[in-house]
Structure 1
Amino acid sequence: MWAVAFKQSDSFSRLWPSVVGVVTAVASVVLLAVALRHLPVGTAYAVWTGLGAVGVAVVGMLRFGESASPSRLLFLALILTGVIGLRFVEDA
């Protein structure tokens, strides 16, 4: 959410999108820190960045009219597959 809010903030020239961006960025990092209590750093960071990237890409397609080409959707699905796969590997 923070990346989309920063896009909407127009380089911090609009107050509320800027506030939302900063607050959600801080919340995101705090939640990553909480996850690091229970997960290895590589796994936690991969999941954090992977889910964030997929989320922003989906919002970009739905809200900003970015490309939803089959190849883009395939590679986003591969990111999700990797995130899900990490879940199973960590339990092993």
Structure 2
Amino acid sequence: MKNYIVSIAAFLCILSVFLYAVSGLSQRSVIEGAVTLENAIKRASVQCYAIEGRYPSSVEYLVKNYGLQIDEKKYAVFYEGFASNIMPDITVSVR
């Protein structure tokens, strides 16, 4: 009976360590996704500037005309353009 309890306790410890590791990896993946999305928005903005001669006025313009895809449930995008010839300030954060 004592060996049985020790086995269950060891299994629960291993399971909790595994779940903690998976949670950490998942969270890291979401953060890396935000960085990747921010870089994609910057690249699309520069591409728009190269093609059209101006930076886009909003992220929605990039979504509509340049095929950019944003998971709005997962990420919040802050896009602040000052002028059409100045690179906008782009920030992506995890919701």
Decide which structure has the larger Cα Rg and report it. 2
Q: TM-score, normalised by structure 2?
A: 0.33
- Structure holding more helix per residue: 1
Higher relative contact order (CA 8 A, sep 6+): 2
By percentage of residues, which structure has more strand? 2
